[in-house]
Amino acid sequence: MLACLVLSACATKKVQNQMQGDVYTGKDTVEYLASGVPDRVFFATNESVLTTASRDTLRKQAEWLRKNSKVNVVLEGHADERGTREYNLALGERRANAAKDYLMTYGISANRISVISYGKERPVDSGSNPLAWSKNRRSVTVKAN
Amino acid sequence: MIKKITQLIILIILSTTQSFALIEVDITRGNLEPLPVAVSPLSSDKKTNDKLVKELKIENIGDKISEVVENNLKNSGLFNPLNKDAFLQKPDIAHLKPRFEDWSLIKAQALITGKVTLNNEKLRVEFRLWDVLAAKEMMALAFTTVPSNWRRIGHIITDKVYERLTGEKGYFDTRIIYVAEDGPKTKRIKKLAIMDQDGSNTKYLTLGNELVLTPRFNPTNQMVTYLSYFRNLPRVYLLDIETGVQEVVGDFPGMTFAPRFSPDGKKIIMSFAMDGNSDIYTMNLENRIVERITNHPSIDTSPSYSPDGKFICFNSDRSGYQQIYVMKKDGTNVKRISFGKGLYGTPVWSPRGDLIAFTKLHKGKFYIGVMRTDGSGERLLTENYYQEAPSWSPNGRVLIFYRETKTDSEGKGFSAKLWSIDLTGYNERMVKTESDASDPSWSSLLSN
Amino acid sequence: MTKNILISSTLHLILIFITAVSLPFLAKKPIDLPPIISVELIQIAEKTNIPYAPKAKKIIEEAKKKEEKVTSEQAPPKKVKKEKPDAVPLPNQNLDKVKKIEEKKQNPEKIEDEIKQVSEFEKDELFDPDSIAALIDKSKEETAETTKKNSKVSQSQDKNVDTLSLTLSEEDALKAQIFGCWSIPLGLPYNENLLVRVKLELKPDGTVINSEILDHERMNKPGQGFYKVLAESALRAIKLCQPLRVPSKGYERWKDLQLNFDAREMLEG
């Protein structure tokens, strides 16, 4: 019984550590474009506003893109499974564009960035829980060439 | 009230008899059990059967057609086809002259009989519908077709019977186009598939090389519009089912999605997303002219025309959250119609024109519901972990939608299936598909 | 004349209200309750109904006109066949009406898939136009006679309360029986007027000699297809229930009986 309690407490704590509000802050699914340059940013439910952490990540990406001027990128916008398919396609597009706009304000040319939305079609975590959904609400920067 | 009273007075005066006022008894209750129907196997002679065994690889064509009818009637939820073991009369004799006492003995209220013959390589199927208690024939029809079409004959017979016994058109000689799914949740392979309304005759229209979503029929059921990720460019496509020819709809510099045909089939209405903003556009398929219908910094999507083509209902988050709106076909007079708690999406105008079906998300549950076109009279028909995208049967009686299951702690156990439910909220049932399935769209009646 | 109708209708209304009010009790408690005559009821009847009586007369006349129109519109009954089940003609012998319904190719495969509906050999309506016409005539006669009756009714009102209705237990038995026989068609629109009135002529043992649908003109109205379906279900219920559980005494009272089938309550609830 006690063990159970402790375990569940740990589990909750773990989730809390990986989420702030309902925005994912963990590193499980994150890949790197280069050392220290995370490829993705995360969003709150139904939101396309960039968090402080997201802006930080995108500034790193912009810096990396400036250094590697031959690299073009695709921003892939995604949503979690808790929405209707068509709305989520629009939402994914909105998220990817939020990331694109931020990269552009840091001097990356629009010609180097394209955007695609997958809505809820390509989750990274197939779980049906708040943590999995938070990992799936994301915009991923992918090298296009 | 006044009307009622005057009706009463008329009633009294018209119904008085010679010496006494007529005694009236109000019958306000009855049973809501499905109507017991006996579907006698259609009779087919040995010669016909032998020939068709070779051609169609089915043993007894009469039995098979009556099975199609029986299954349709049962799935409608309005009829209860009785067990054939209890039938006393032979099919051929019942078709000529039913012994009504026998049929009423097994509690049948209606009886379907029929006969199958082969004439010049053509199948000829006749059937009769009998009112067992009134001991009368209600309907008699015959059809000829190529033998391979035998299932459709079963569907058409069901449509005729359904219409005669319910007063509404049927929906059995119809098809459903959907997305067949396979593979892990994170990398689903999706193909366009088409099948008969009862789940038979499945055919795949794409190979699964690219992601495809939200197929919808045109009014004549020959064309399909859908979203394809061909070459990683999500665009609305048009597919001619017969020829297999596909083309991109319009030349948009970004994602187009959520397509649907106008009721006259001449336009496709869809969303176009650009720079983080989705608005609704139409493209005329005859002259290729593109028109912008909404212009708002919010997400506007899931448009659906009213059956008269004069209005459009759509989904927008301009209030801050997903809600349902109605506007004139030119985009003016936008009015929000959903005001209940929760989020609303995927509005679809009913073929009868009086209702809009929708998906609702509230407190972590998904609902399929209907409301009147002014937003009043909201009724939720079914609740589940995840379900969305209702599509109407052509008679506006049944909704088909898809449902996804919750995965376990390891992310396993995911499945997506088609379900249907009656407008009354009764008769919820899974629609058989060969694989997992989503995004169903119901065709109109193929015949008549 | 007008006055008589007026008085008669008011009195009848009182009767109807009494029955209507006592019915819900019936449905819940199958115990023999004494008939309740409430003062309130009578007041309602007087207040609400008298002013409308002249209007009602107009409506009745309109209704009569309408019915006449219906009679004249009724095509002469086709000589299709009398409903003798043993005389069913073989389809092949009866291919007079050949109707072809061809439809466009829909199949994904390019197969020859047209289905032709070659014959519609007969479409038998459940209700004989002859009998409908007869019914209309009869109802006209009846209205003509109401004036005569009215004076009688108004004089012997108290007596009529006893003689013109079944006792609650009698009515209850009959209702319970028919409730069990009536399969309400499930496909009906739930927001329409779903009242079907059937007039019965009964034998002393409860066997039905004759049954007539009173609002028959609704049967063939466009958009009212469900009404015909409902009417047919009511007739099936009566057939299924035969002989009806009628009281053992007082045949004269109930030899003509009207059943009002109303599906609304069931379909809404």
Q: What pLDDT, on a 0 to 100 scale, did the predictor assign at position B59?
A: 86
| Residues B239 and B281 both lie in one domain | yes
**How would you list the strands of the sheet with C256-262, edge to edge?**
B23-27, C256-262, C195-202, C208-213
Asked if the Cβ–Cβ distance from A116 to B232 is below 8 Å, we say yes
Q: Is residue B15 part of a domain?
A: no
Task: Give the confidence band of C102 by pLDDT, cuts at 50, 70, 90.
Answer: very low
Between the ranges B279-283, C99-103, C147-151, where is the mean pLDDT highest?
Answer: B279-283
The last residue of one of the domains, among B108, B143, B166, is B166
> CA of C122 to nearest chain B CA: how many angstroms apart?
6
Q: Is residue B97 part of a domain?
A: yes
- Nearest chain B residue to A87 by CA distance is B301
Q: Is residue B380 part of a domain?
A: yes
From chain A, the residues in CB contact with B412 under 8 A are 126
DSSP C99-133: ---------SS------EEEEEEE---SS-HHHHH
Q: Is residue B371 part of a domain?
A: yes
Cα–Cα distance measured from residue C158 to residue B24, given in angstroms and rounded to the nearest whole number: 18
Residue A34 has pLDDT above 50, yes or no: yes
Q: What pLDDT, on a 0 to 100 scale, did the predictor assign at position B341?
A: 93
Helix runs in C29-120, H state only: 39-49, 53-73
Q: What pLDDT, on a 0 to 100 scale, did the predictor assign at position B301?
A: 98
Q: What pLDDT, on a 0 to 100 scale, did the predictor assign at position C83?
A: 36
From chain B, the residues in CB contact with C178 under 8 A are 25, 27, 30
> CA of B24 to nearest chain A CA: how many angstroms apart?
54
Question: Mind spelling out the 3-state secondary structure of C145-178?
Answer: HHHHHHHHHHHCHHHHHHHCCCCHHHHHHHHHHH
Residue C10 has pLDDT above 90, yes or no: no
Closest by CA position to C127, among listed C198, C68, C178, C175: C198
Phi, psi (rounded to 5 degrees) for C148: -55, -45
| Residues B416 and B297 both lie in one domain | yes
Contacting partners of chain B (3+ CB pairs under 8 A): A, C
Question: Is residue B56 within 8 angstroms of chain C, CB to CB?
Answer: no
CA B145 to chain centre: 24
Show which of residues 344-373 on chain B sit within 8 Å of chain C, judged by CB atoms.
none
Go through B86-125 and write b for each residue having 16 or more CB atoms within 10 A of its CB, e for each that does not.
ebebebbebbeebebebbbeeebbbbbbbbbbbeeeebbb
| Residues B143 and B225 both lie in one domain | no
Kindly report the CATH number assigned to the domain that includes residue B105: 3.40.50.10070
Asked if the Cβ–Cβ distance from C115 to B156 is below 8 Å, we say yes
Q: Is residue B109 part of a domain?
A: yes
Asked if the Cβ–Cβ distance from B23 to C53 is below 8 Å, we say no
Share of chain A residues as helix, strand and coil, in percent rounded to the nearest 5 = 45, 20, 35
Q: What pLDDT, on a 0 to 100 scale, did the predictor assign at position B286?
A: 95
Task: Give the confidence band of C122 by pLDDT, cuts at 50, 70, 90.
Answer: very low
Question: Mind spelling out the 3-state secondary structure of chain B?
Answer: CHHHHHHHHHHHHHHCCCCCCCEEEEECCCECCCEEEEECCCEECHHHHHHHHHHHCCCCHHHHHHHHHHHHHHHHCCEEECCHHHCCCCHHHHHHCCCHHHHHHCCCCEEEEEEEEEECCEEEEEEEEEECCCCEEEEEEEEEECHHHHHHHHHHHHHHHHHHHHCCCCCCCCEEEEEEEECCHHHCEEEEEEEECCCCCCEECCCCCCCEEEEEECCCCCEEEEEECHHHCCEEEEEECCCCCEEECCCCCCCEEEEEECCCCCEEEEEEEECCEEEEEEEECCCCCEEECCCCCCCEEEEEECCCCCEEEEEECCCCCCEEEEEECCCCCCEECCCCCCEEEEEEECCCCCEEEEEEEECCEEEEEEEECCCCCCEEEEEECEEEEEEECCCCCEEEEEEECCCCCCCCCCCEEEEEEECCCCCCEEECCCCEEEEEEECCCCCC
Lowest mean pLDDT among B63-67, B417-421, C84-88, C148-152: C84-88
Asked if the Cβ–Cβ distance from C236 to B98 is below 8 Å, we say no
Q: Is residue B299 part of a domain?
A: yes
Q: What pLDDT, on a 0 to 100 scale, did the predictor assign at position B210?
A: 96
ipTM score: 0.91
Can chain C be said to touch chain A, i.e. do they have 3 or more Cβ pairs within 8 angstroms? Answer: no
Facing A117 at nearest CB: one of B188, B234, B388 = B234
Q: What pLDDT, on a 0 to 100 scale, did the predictor assign at position B6?
A: 61
B–C CB contacts, 8 A cutoff, strictly below: 283
- Residues B297-355: pLDDT tens digits? 999 999 999 999 999 999 999 999 999 999 999 999 999 999 999 999 999 999 999 99
Is the model more confident about C115 or about A107?
A107
Residue C127 has pLDDT above 50, yes or no: no
Task: Give the confidence band of C19 by pLDDT, cuts at 50, 70, 90.
Answer: low
**Would you say B43 and B61 are in contact if contact means Cβ atoms under 8 Å apart?**
no
Cα–Cα distance measured from residue A129 to residue A137, given in angstroms and rounded to the nearest whole number: 13
| Residues B238 and B161 both lie in one domain | no
- A99: tokens are 């990331």
| Residues B69 and B128 both lie in one domain | yes
Q: What pLDDT, on a 0 to 100 scale, did the predictor assign at position B22?
A: 82
| Residues B146 and B184 both lie in one domain | no
- Nearest chain A residue to B385 by CA distance is A82
From chain B, the residues in CB contact with C160 under 8 A are 21
| Residues B161 and B190 both lie in one domain | no
The last residue of one of the domains, among B166, B189, B204, is B166
- Nearest chain C residue to B137 by CA distance is C124
Contacting partners of chain C (3+ CB pairs under 8 A): B
Q: What pLDDT, on a 0 to 100 scale, did the predictor assign at position B168?
A: 87
Task: Give the confidence band of C75 by pLDDT, cuts at 50, 70, 90.
Answer: very low
Task: Give the confidence band of C250 by pLDDT, cuts at 50, 70, 90.
Answer: confident
Is the model more confident about A79 or about B120?
A79
Q: Is residue B428 part of a domain?
A: yes
| Residues B147 and B183 both lie in one domain | no
Domain of B107 in residue numbering reads as 36-166
> How many domains does chain B fold into?
2
Q: Is residue B90 part of a domain?
A: yes
Asked if the Cβ–Cβ distance from B143 to C197 is below 8 Å, we say no
Residue A120 has pLDDT above 60, yes or no: yes
Residue C153 has pLDDT above 50, yes or no: no
Is the model more confident about A3 or about C264?
C264
Which CATH fold topology does A2-143 show?
A: 60s Ribosomal Protein L30; Chain: A; (3.30.1330)
| Residues B135 and B231 both lie in one domain | no
From chain A, the residues in CB contact with B441 under 8 A are none
Question: Cis bond leading into C129, ω under 30°?
Answer: no
Go through C64-98 and write b for each residue having 16 or more CB atoms within 10 A of its CB, e for each that does not.
beebeeebeeeeeeeeeeeeeeeebeebeebeeee
Asked if the Cβ–Cβ distance from A121 to B188 is below 8 Å, we say yes
Cα–Cα distance measured from residue B217 to residue B177, given in angstroms and rounded to the nearest whole number: 7
C16-25 average pLDDT score:
53
Q: What pLDDT, on a 0 to 100 scale, did the predictor assign at position C169?
A: 85
A6-31 average pLDDT score:
72
| Residues B161 and B180 both lie in one domain | no
Q: What pLDDT, on a 0 to 100 scale, did the predictor assign at position C266?
A: 80
**Would you say B155 and B125 are in contact if contact means Cβ atoms under 8 Å apart?**
no
- Residues B198-225: pLDDT tens digits? 999 999 999 999 999 999 999 999 999 9
Facing B322 at nearest CB: one of A87, A116, A128 = A87
| Per-chain mean pLDDT for chain A | 90
- Nearest chain A residue to B414 by CA distance is A126
Kindly report the CATH number assigned to the domain that includes residue B320: 2.120.10.30
Residue C148 has pLDDT above 90, yes or no: no
| Residues B230 and B124 both lie in one domain | no
If DSSP codes are grouped into helix, strand and coil, which group holds residue C57? Answer: helix
Q: What pLDDT, on a 0 to 100 scale, did the predictor assign at position B354?
A: 92
Residue ranges of domains in chain A: 2-143
C213-238 average pLDDT score:
85
If DSSP codes are grouped into helix, strand and coil, which group holds residue A22? Answer: coil
**Which residues in chain B come in under a pLDDT of 70?**
1-21, 448
Q: What pLDDT, on a 0 to 100 scale, did the predictor assign at position C98?
A: 35
**Would you say C148 and B16 are in contact if contact means Cβ atoms under 8 Å apart?**
no
Cα–Cα distance measured from residue C142 to residue C148, given in angstroms and rounded to the nearest whole number: 10
Cα–Cα distance measured from residue B442 to residue B122, given in angstroms and rounded to the nearest whole number: 29
Cα–Cα distance measured from residue B421 to residue B383, given in angstroms and rounded to the nearest whole number: 12
From chain C, the residues in CB contact with B447 under 8 A are 101, 103, 115
Is the model more confident about C57 or about B298?
B298
Q: Which residues have C-beta within 8 Å of that of residue B322, sequence separation ≥ 6?
A: A83, A84, A87, B299, B315, B316, B343, B344, B345, B361
Residue B384 burial (CB < 10 Å; 0-12/13-18/19+)? middle
Task: Give the confidence band of A18 by pLDDT, cuts at 50, 70, 90.
Answer: confident
| Residues B364 and B397 both lie in one domain | yes
Q: Which residues have C-beta within 8 Å of that of residue B288, sequence separation ≥ 6?
A: B250
Contacting partners of chain A (3+ CB pairs under 8 A): B
